[in-house]
Structure 1
Amino acid sequence: MDTTTASHAALTSFEPLFTNETSEFRHPSDVAGRLAAPGGDGSAGERRALLPAGDVTFLFTDIEGSTRLASGLGAERYRVVLHRHRALVREVLRAAGGVEIDTEGDSFFVAFHDAAAACAAAVGIQTALRGAAWPDQDGAPLRPRVRMGLHTGEAWPSAGGYATPEVHKTARICSAAHGDQILASAACAAAAGLPPERMRRLGDFELRGLPGATELVQLRAPGLPERFPPPPVRPRRHNLPHALKPPVDRPDDARELDRAFAVSRMVTLSGLPGCGKTTFARAWARKRLSCYEHGVWYSKAGPDLGKALLDALDLRSEPLREPMRTVIDHFRDRQALLVVDGTDQLGAERRNELLLLLESCPDLHLLAVGRRPLDLPGAVKRALDLPSSGVGAAMLAGFCEDRGAPWTAADCRGLAAAVENFPPALLALADLVALASPQAALRRLRDDPVAVLDAGGRFREAIDDAVAAISGPARAVLLELAGRERGASVDEVLDLCRQRDGSLEALVELVDAALVVIERPAMDQAVYRVPAPLRWLLAGPDAEPGPAPLTAGFAERLVHPVAIDAPRLKAVA
């Protein structure tokens, strides 16, 4: 098969992409031919009128190792190779309607009205180069190995060329390719309508001098090589925000999360406000980068979950297509971890979208972070337990550091232990500790715990929000448990609640919401207990220390949210 026939066959293999009735495709006689025609005046105005505008696909090509090739061949034979290379490239460009913008040495810069035509031209050029005769060295042909980069973006001609970042992006994509390889941006592949069998997704990469990440694909065609080394640019492996300061290490919680992911691809992480859910989730995910070939990705949950994920992944929305479908296509063949923060705010429809995403992407893992766990089939629930004494002290010291106070974790250990390392209480104490000292705050806490914790009203607000979010049965069980300083076993909970329907489910809900902690004495039943700061607040200022019956103030505050929740109240009765 001669060179012309081979390049024509390559173009034909892309013919369904090459013919696009809605494109602005122009025959070479109307574009490239006129630019080179002797009758044309060659003016800048005529050139601008013929250059593609709007959605333009750019092609950059150059010969890999051209200096080494020229040295090996010598000046005369290299001129023959360069002339033949240029002739073959221009022959294919004329057939594909490409507009040659610039040629320098062994490089070409070309613009196309149609992305499919540009992809077909790139394949045609590689096929023609592989089928041509070339000088040899010691019996081996010294064929030029050309690397190519394609990208589609909005561009408008100016002064006979283009002044747009899209041109720089195309040049960077070409630099990322190897000899004989065609790389394209995902935007170009989408504009060309490339089917999966005509491309191989390589992942997201950071191109030098350009913001964000660019997804690269390798074009595939019969007769072209398939295997290449990774692109010589840094892959984008995550979008996790960089912490302003080192997070508090929580090894026990990290191990629990690892165990959860060992049995399920979907894990929900819940906890009270201020407990460090987001910080912990990001730190844990960052340490798992090596476990996921295609990276770790973080997104806030929003009203339109699909759009929020597109923004987090730097993906473009597609016309007439649901954003979540684009996200599913992105993750379908990728091994990745997705962290979605704030999932307790998602409605049923959006939660089902997350389930569809996991069902459609077999190698995707999901960590859903929120105040409440997601109730989805197959999800493993993990609540951030009360921090250990060391972690709680470090958290309080960190809150103080944010306020400019120099207290260390060792300084804060006694005060943190006094509030049982309860995160909302630690956060509530931070202002006083920063202004006074941990010792002064501890003395005041012993005198009047409620006044100290709720001095600014934020502690009560955090607890009110947490209580308002749980069901009526859970509030009723919390009401019973709060009167028992040492907590209760499951049997005792059932006795306290008089075998009320849903008591066990309500207890699970309280654990998920971190309003009840679990203590496991050796060889005995687990004990479920309301943390002391929560008991102090709800029991009111007149409560006596130690085990005591519920005060009227406590009952009024806790039962009132139940009373206004009519459907759930019926379930309690």
Structure 2
Amino acid sequence: MVELLPTGTVTLLLADVEGSTRLWETRPEEMTAALVQLNKTVNEAIASHDGVRPLEQGEGDSFVAAFARASDAVACALELQRAPLVPIRLRIGIHTGEIQLRDDANYAGPTINRTARLRDLAHGGQTVLSGVTESLVVDRLPEDVWLADLGSHPLRDLPRPERVVQVCHPDLRNEFPPLRVRTAVVAQNLPAQLTSFVGRQAQLGEVRDIVTANRLVTLTGAGGAGKTRLAVESAARVAADFSDGVWYVDLAPITIPEVAPVTVARTLGLPDQPGRSTMDLLVRFFGDKKILLLLDNCEHLLDACGAMAIELLAACPQLTILATSREPLGLPGS
């Protein structure tokens, strides 16, 4: 007989096994034993943190747990992620909201759907919280636990994006690839243009061809010459060539050169990570992705932008940088 499910405002924990189908195909004997251990570990962890497991919910190698307190759900997730479950690695999503009962032993409705979509963003070994849950636990975290803000992301088939926060602990892996956001919603943040762009088609074609053939391009000219508009329009027209997105960063408000990389990181939604420099975070984000980075108004940060561009281009083989400046960056290859 299943325990009475909590109702009203509830915190849900949804988890599944990363790469389950592949593991069953390639390591069936290990998976048989690991799944027995997983079910035992899950039941013990949920019970020890005052949670309840709905009777029928969960499919394949996934499971659901419900908690009256968000902090109990986070503590349960930490216990699960620290458990010896090789070759199993769990993706865990935790969200808090008002819940609807499908029957006496199972849930239905928007809260469980949102939690499932949140879990789908994660990688094996990673636990992510919604912004709502983060606000409930931020002042009640277990010892040595910290939270990393991963930014706001769209969730599949849901109209409202979700702020995503990762649970971190020294005993766990804390660095992962970018969240598994669908390719169809790859971010790009080019500023909207409210008027049509006419009279500079030849320049547009020239810039497009240069950007396609070179990894570092600088548009130079006097203030008010239209560099930003030309760069943004050119970036929009080549966006289809950059499968991982186009990012626009306005450096005009920046007065301290050392803040330039931080401004790029903030635009990308990258959280601070203890022990890692901002440039390291940028290199890890861009990695092997095919991205166009548009750095606007570099003229007062020439040395900082030049150093940043050199390091990023050397470490990220598919990154292209398009910059605007009143003066050339003076870099080889631009």
What TM-score comes out, normalization by structure 2 length? 0.58
Q: 1:298 aligns with which of 240, 248, 254?
A: 248
Instruction: Return the alpha-carbon distance in structure 2 between the equivalents of residues 354 and 246 of structure 1.
Output: 31
Instruction: Return the alpha-carbon distance in structure 1 between the equivalents of residues 305 and 79 of structure 2.
Output: 39
1:117: how far off? 4.7
Within a 5 Å distance, the mapping from 1:122-137 to structure 2 comes to: 124=85, 127=88
Whether contact under 8 Å (2:287, 2:316) holds in the other structure is yes
1:284: how far off? 1.5
Match of 1:150 in 2: 93
Residues 278, 267 of structure 1: alpha-carbon distance in 2 compared, 3 angstrom cutoff:
same
Instruction: Return the alpha-carbon distance in structure 2 between the equivalents of residues 363 and 377 of structure 1.
Output: 18
Match of 2:316 in 1: 361
Instruction: Return the alpha-carbon distance in structure 1 between the equivalents of residues 245 and 118 of structure 2.
Output: 21
Whether contact under 8 Å (1:151, 1:187) holds in the other structure is yes
Q: Does 1:61 align with 2:15?
A: yes
Within a 5 Å distance, the mapping from 1:139-288 to structure 2 comes to: 148-150=91-93, 170-174=115-119, 182=124, 184=126, 205-207=153-155, 208-211=158-161, 234-248=184-198, 250-288=200-238
Instruction: Return the alpha-carbon distance in structure 1 between the equivalents of residues 159 and 125 of structure 2.
Output: 18
1:323: how far off? 1.4
Instruction: Return the alpha-carbon distance in structure 1 between the equivalents of residues 80 and 212 of structure 2.
Output: 46
Give the number of equivalent residue pairs.
248
1:376: how far off? 1.0
Whether contact under 8 Å (1:338, 1:367) holds in the other structure is yes
1:326: how far off? 0.7
SS of corresponding position for 1:287: helix
SS of corresponding position for 2:249: strand
Q: 1:374 aligns with which of 306, 323, 329?
A: 329
Residues 232, 344 of structure 1: alpha-carbon distance in 2 compared, 3 angstrom cutoff:
closer
Unaligned runs of 5+ in 2: 4-10, 18-34, 58-63, 68-72, 97-110, 131-144, 147-151, 167-179
Instruction: Return the alpha-carbon distance in structure 2 between the equivalents of residues 249 and 125 of structure 1.
Output: 62
Whether contact under 8 Å (1:212, 1:314) holds in the other structure is no
Name the amino acid aligned to 1:283. E
Residues 240, 127 of structure 1: alpha-carbon distance in 2 compared, 3 angstrom cutoff:
same
Name the amino acid aligned to 1:365. T
1:170: how far off? 4.7
Residues 261, 359 of structure 1: alpha-carbon distance in 2 compared, 3 angstrom cutoff:
same
Q: 1:336 aligns with which of 291, 294, 297?
A: 291
Name the amino acid aligned to 1:363. Q
- Determine which structure has the larger strand proportion and give its number: 2
Report the aligned-residue RMSD: 4.7
Whether contact under 8 Å (1:92, 1:125) holds in the other structure is no
1:296: how far off? 0.5
Residues 97, 368 of structure 1: alpha-carbon distance in 2 compared, 3 angstrom cutoff:
farther
Q: 1:112 aligns with which of 60, 74, 79?
A: 74
Q: Percent identity?
A: 25
Whether contact under 8 Å (1:96, 1:118) holds in the other structure is no
Residues 87, 360 of structure 1: alpha-carbon distance in 2 compared, 3 angstrom cutoff:
closer
- Determine which structure has the larger helix proportion and give its number: 1
Q: Please tell me whether Structure 1 or Structure 2 has the larger radius of gyration of its CA atoms.
A: 1
Instruction: Return the alpha-carbon distance in structure 1 between the equivalents of residues 192 and 272 of structure 2.
Output: 26
Unaligned runs of 5+ in 1: 1-35, 37-56, 64-84, 129-146, 156-165, 193-203, 217-229, 380-573
Whether contact under 8 Å (2:217, 2:323) holds in the other structure is yes
Q: Does 1:321 align with 2:276?
A: yes
Residues 320, 284 of structure 1: alpha-carbon distance in 2 compared, 3 angstrom cutoff:
same
Instruction: Return the alpha-carbon distance in structure 1 between the equivalents of residues 162 and 260 of structure 2.
Output: 21
Provide Cα deviations, 1:447-503, integer angstroms capped at 9, x if missing partner.
Answer: xxxxxxxxxxxxxxxxxxxxxxxxxxxxxxxxxxxxxxxxxxxxxxxxxxxxxxxxx
Instruction: Return the alpha-carbon distance in structure 1 between the equivalents of residues 196 and 328 of structure 2.
Output: 26
The higher-RCO structure (CA 8 Å, 6+ apart) is 2
1:249: how far off? 5.9
Whether contact under 8 Å (2:91, 2:127) holds in the other structure is no
Instruction: Return the alpha-carbon distance in structure 2 between the equivalents of residues 329 and 59 of structure 1.
Output: 29
